[in-house]
Amino acid sequence: MNIIIVTGSAGLIGSEAVQFFCDKGYTVVGIDNNMRQVFFSADASTKWNRDRLLQCYGDRYIHHNADIRDQEVISNIFKTYNQDIRLIIHTAAQPSHDWAAKDPSIDFSVNANGTLVLLENTRQSCPNAVFTFCSTNKVYGDTPNNLPLVEQELRWEIAETHSYYDRGIDESMSIDQFKHSLFGASKVAADILVQEYGRYFGMRTAVFRGGCLTDPSHSGMKLHDFLSYLMGCTMTGQPYQVFGYKGKQVRDNIHSFDLVNAFYHFYQNPCRGEVYNIGGSRFSNCSMLEAIQYCEAIADKKLNWSYAEPNRIGDHIWWISDVQKFKDHYPDWNLTYTVKDILEEIFTTNIGRWCQDMVLSH
């Protein structure tokens, strides 16, 4: 039996991974205890996504309502499948740097300690398995804010004098001696652990440092997943607030399918302790102001938004991932979704639910 373990399996990237590998004939073991509801309220619950996966895939999807920090429970799961485990896709996390400041202990225990539990159980039960980890560009802290930026009408952009960054930010940027946010710090710890298990123990591990990850299945909330939440606010009339940088801060956005497909390419020809910046790159990126314009055009509605100072602590002014290193290693992998593609899919997938919410609210 070929087993894929996916943590955070009812979340955005996790559920995409479940679908991707179940469709390829693998048996997927999901680990998800709906902590997203604890972090962000009942509206962020992923129970609906878990139930959908169970209904769609039957015996090919085995769900465990488990906490990745629980050493005994996680150990029993790994021992059950043992050498049948081919790949671990670790997406479970506390994902918000705003929330992390409210409870640093829980943030660190989930992001860092939970990752250690998974790595050590992989080493003990299935050391030949491939381990992929969803890290974040927040491990670079606010270092990118020192880049030479110029202000344009709708966005900040790299100055023409610094052509090195034409493709975006690569893995050579330092992660040291800058402000990270507490979320960024806990993800740094996990990031380094995944690298070290590859380099020290010779395990086949990879860190994927993503930025904005999204698709229509995301339970978008104010503190996490701005595209889904932004489109939802545009449709329903709910107020939206933009924090700092004149709304011209830039993010690249990667669809969950494109990210999981990158995991699959790595799985087929893995390295040891590798690090990749992964995101929409120059192919798929936007500023906040540009994203608002896209949403308003697609939904044919005006967003009720306001602007507030200051910016969020440790937030990036400009982030576009240079994905060339991954492309060099895996030339058959390509990005397939632009920002407009993603927003249009979010709109068409969720319009029925949003319209129902508007009726109920009245």
Q: What are the per-10-residue average pLDDT scores of the chain (362 residues)?
A: 96 96 98 91 88 96 98 98 97 91 96 98 98 97 95 96 92 94 96 98 98 76 70 93 95 97 98 98 97 97 94 88 98 98 93 58 51
Q: What is the pLDDT of residue 359?
A: 43
**What are the tokens at 119?**
């790595």
Q: What is the pLDDT of residue 279?
A: 98
- pTM here is 0.94
Which helix H or strand E contains 205, and what residues bound it? Answer: strand 204-210
Report d(CA 22, CA 58) in Å as an integer.
10
Distance of CA 183 to the CA centre of its chain: 13
The strand pair at 285-287 and 250-255 is best described as antiparallel
Q: What is the pLDDT of residue 223?
A: 47
Report d(CA 46, CA 33) in Å as an integer.
9
- The pLDDT tens digits for 240-255 are 999 999 999 999 999 9
Q: What is the pLDDT of residue 136?
A: 96
Collapsing DSSP to helix, strand or coil, 219 comes out as: coil
Q: What is the pLDDT of residue 77?
A: 98
Q: What is the pLDDT of residue 226?
A: 77
Q: What is the pLDDT of residue 219?
A: 56
Collapsing DSSP to helix, strand or coil, 287 comes out as: strand
Q: What is the pLDDT of residue 313?
A: 77
Indicate the fold that domain 3-357 takes in CATH.
Answer: Rossmann fold (3.40.50)
Collapsing DSSP to helix, strand or coil, 338 comes out as: coil
